[in-house]
Structure 1
């Protein structure tokens, strides 16, 4: 299986740490949106899309990258995120990104989220929240997620 992970990790490297763990399991390169030619994505069996969450949404760099993709027949995909808070029921940003990817032609097979150290204002005033996250348990969960994902994608191919 050939995989790649497109990841935007800005503040503390939280999302990159999660992406690197998943990439090890999937044998995938981890790249930023500007580091991959969009035409190359069609040559993969699985594409991961992830970023930290800012203002209850994925980082603009990742959203703009996805928005610039043509509508086509794309490979299977997955979405992941790190955030200081759980996704609120009134702002389903993961579902929103999944919907955008599906509109572009990706078959989104699963999603993953875990907590990450967050110093967005006003949280910065109190030293941030979720210090130490993603922790070993979060990374183990990301590893298990990627192992299950790999098994499902390989058996469905």
Structure 2
């Protein structure tokens, strides 16, 4: 079955009318959004992190994750360990409908890249509960995981 130009035009118009995608206000970067849109987000937000999460919706966001083997906390040449655990966390996040790409950038460090930045904040909560996470850097803020406590105890 082939479509004429008129059929395609009607289909396109119908698609545009039924488009559930983000409005232009929601689709534009936070700094370019109208003030009333940002004010409505502030009203919906329960806390500052919630507001930050809302403003990152639809934007690419990267999070740095430090990994430590708690059985050998001083050891830093643990690339295979890091690859194993970050891949496992990626699949667990994916099973929770969080789309993330993971890139191991050092023996004990990885980048988690989110196409929808608002998902990074859910992932951060999950990762901070994981035994081998030492620290997370997200939006210039550093958060310490369970493995950081083991490193501190060893330093004492």
| TM-score, length of structure 2 as denominator length | 0.25
Query: Which one has a bigger Cα radius of gyration?
Result: 2
- TM-score for both structures, normalised by structure 1: 0.25
